[in-house]
Amino acid sequence: MQIRFLCLIFCFLSILPADLYSDETSFSQSEQEVIKDFESDYNDSSSDDDLLSDDLFGDEESSATSKEIKKVYDPLEPVNRAVFIFNDKIYFYIFTPVSNTYTKITPKFARTGISNFFSNIGSPLRIANNLLQGKIKTAGAETGRFFVNTFLGFLGFIDSAQTIDGLNPPEEDLGQTFGRWGIGAGPYIVIPFIGPSNLRDAAGMAGEIYLDPADLIYEPSNNEQYILTGIKTLNALPAQMEMYKTLKESAFDPYSSAKDAYNQIRNKKIKE
C-alpha cells in the first residue's frame, strides 16, 4: 500500500514541468518575477518594461518604433573587431594624448562655450528631424531653444535655454528619423576613427552633411568647413575619450559592451 502511494507521488513529480524544481528554487517569488521580466525584456527589446514610463518623464508619443531584433545583427564581426582594435590603438596613442594637451591649454569655459556653439548651430538640423518625425511640439521647443541661445546666448556660446523648462528637448538626428520611419538598424558597423554605428545611422550621418538647413543661412567654403569640423571634433574629444576609457575598464569584453551600449542608447533615442 505504502509503496504504491510512493510510486504515485513519484509518477506525479516526474510529469511536473522541469523548471518547477530546477535551479530557480533558490530565488524567492519576487526575485523570480524580476528575472522573468528581465529575460522577456532582453529577448524582445521592443517591450516597454519601464515603470517610469514615457508619460512620466519622456516626451510625447511612445508607441511607434518597429520591433527590434533580439541580438544586434553583426555579420561583419571579424572586420568590426579588427577596426575596433585599430581604433583602440588610435585612441590610446594619438587621440588621448591630443585631448589631454587640448584640455590643459584650453580653459574650461572656452571648451564649454565651443561645445555650446556647435550644439546651437546643429539646431536647424534637429528641428528638421523633429518635423520629419512629425514631432511638432519638440520642433517648437528646439526652435525656441535656437532663438534664445542665438540671440541671448551670444551666438550660442552660452546655453541660456538650459535652465528654462520645456526648452531642452531630446536631440534628434537623421538616423533616429529613419528608425522612426520603421527602417531597421541593418548590420552593425565599427567605423574607423569614429567607432560604433550601423548601416542606418551611418547613412543618416552621411545624409546630414548634405542636408544641413544651417547651410541656407551661411554656407561655409570647403576650407572653412574643414576647420570648423576640426575644432568641433577636437573639442568633443576629451569627453569621448573619457567615455571610451570607462567603457573599456568596466567591460568584460569591450567589443560586445560597446556594441550593446550603442544599440541600447540608439533604440532608446528612437523611442523617445
Tell me how far, at minimum, the Cβ of 144 lies from another protein, in Å. 18
> What's the sign of the alpha-carbon dihedral 155, 156, 160, 165?
positive
Residue 218 CA to residue 19 CA, distance in Å, equals: 65
Grid look-up 573639442 returns 235
Residue 8 CA to residue 200 CA, distance in Å, equals: 60
Residue numbers at the binding site for another protein (CB under 8 A): 22-23, 27-28, 30-31, 33-35, 37-39, 41-42, 50-52, 56-57, 72, 100, 112, 162, 239, 246, 249-253, 256-257, 259-261, 264-265, 268-269, 272
Q: Which is nearer to another protein, 171 or 208 (CB)?
A: 171
The neighbouring-strand residues paired with 189 are: 197
Tell me how far, at minimum, the Cβ of 243 lies from another protein, in Å. 11
Say if CB 247 and CB 261 are below 8 A apart.
yes
* H/E segment holding residue 208: helix 199-211
- Read off φ and ψ for residue 190, nearest 5 degrees: -100, 115
Q: Which is nearer to another protein, 100 or 225 (CB)?
A: 100
Q: Which is nearer to another protein, 128 or 258 (CB)?
A: 258
Tell me how far, at minimum, the Cβ of 204 lies from another protein, in Å. 19
Q: Which is nearer to another protein, 194 or 236 (CB)?
A: 236
Tell me how far, at minimum, the Cβ of 219 lies from another protein, in Å. 30
